[in-house]
Amino acid sequence: MKWFLSNSCTLSFAAALVFVAGCTEPTAVPLKPKASDAKPASGSSAEKKPSESKPSETTPSTPEAKMSVTKDSYGKLPDGTEIEQYTMTNANGMLVSVVTYGAVVTTVEVPDRDGKIANVTLYRDSLADYMEMKNGKPTTPYFGATIGRYGNRIAKGRFTVDGKEYKLAINNEPNALHGGLKGFDKVVWKAEPTTTADTVGVAFTYTSPDGEEGYPGTLKVKVTYSVTDKDELKIDYEATTDKATVLNLTNHNYWNLAGAGSGDVLGQEVTINADRYLPVDDTLIPLGEPKPVKDTAMDFTTAKKIGADMAKVEGGYDHCYVLNRKGNDLSLAAKASDPSSGRVMEIFTTQPAIQFYGGNFLDGTIVAGGKKYDKHFAFCLETQHYPDSPNKPDYPTTLLKPGETYKQSTVHKFSVQK
């Protein structure tokens, strides 16, 4: 089974609320910042000034849209490779920055109900921080990263394609996680600005050689991040291979709709358009068939505070939800909201599942913008295929063959509740 991107990626806001129609919530409205408050949040791209910084290069879109893409230096790797940061803005106060190291999203700035701007995704203060290692392991847990070749876990780091077994690095004992020791989150991507009538974006490309991190096939990948005039962050994935391989691309933003470092997210609300989820073993590998969420702590079919049932879930939320969907078109997967700021984020995707993670492993050791990221200071909603699909033939396939084109799309739409 293949999952393909719909030709129609524009959805009405009314349609976005179909699965939560029974909930009583304030009306969501488009982002409208106050001009006097529309300033970058602490730690945002506008405040990062690496010593190697060069003057910005601006690629404007159509004048009517008042949108643009700017390029700046973000620093250099130890070998001298320059890392670039691209910043996309629209006329409503939305700003998204992505760097060529790991195609990492460093900033997603959106206004609250009073027009106050904040970066709502967790970030690090510098390129050196993103690359920091302790005891041979990275200290940054995939903040904002593009994940590949395989997002989530593969049991015991092994899978078989066409009768041949492939072995991966065990980087999440006893399993393989998020592409390996040097996954797509740690490579340098090429970048090219893109514009359309209603979007500004950047296409990131990377060629993963045959055998990289143990995966078969030379894989050519393009991931396009774009901002629309409807306050959307779009992520479009495309890939081809010259040898049969497995692929599960995703993005790993850590969200806090009150603002990065502002406190825990236990009072923020989440709705997930899924009647079933995948129970897991103690190493977070799915046990098998999806199970109903009804009458369990896993139920987010109606809006619920993240912390409402957290204590009932051993270890906290880190589970894959099987989305309610028909066909392969872009459809609503989840909605998150912060009552204190009024910020709302809806997620649409062509993917069959979404991983909900409650920031269980954040422990206060990471500091950015002068603020610590303690436990539950963010949540993740990662659109993807199921964990360990290569070893479970009943799951939607993640196999990509020569002559096929992998295509997936995810949209994050932002608004505010009055």
The residues carrying an active-site annotation are 252, 382
DSSP string, 291-321: EE-TTSTT--SS-EETTSSGGGSTT--EEEE
DSSP letter at 212?
Answer: G
Prior bond to 174 cis, omega within 30? yes
Structure tokens at 285: 């590998």
The 3-class secondary structure across 8-51, one letter per residue, is CCCCCHHHHCHHHCCCCCCCEECCCCCHHHCCCCCCCHHHCCCC
DSSP 218: -
CB of 251 within 8 A of CB of 412? no
In degrees, rounded to 5, the angle at the alpha carbon of residue 411 between the alpha carbons of residues 369 and 277 is 95
Q: What are phi and psi of 213, to 5 degrees?
A: 55, 20
| C-beta neighbour count of 367 within 10 angstroms | 13
* CA distances, 343 to each of 16, 89, 98, 154 (Å): 15, 18, 21, 35
403: nearest Cα among 240, 288, 218: 240
Contact call for residues 410 and 259 (beta carbons, < 8 A): no
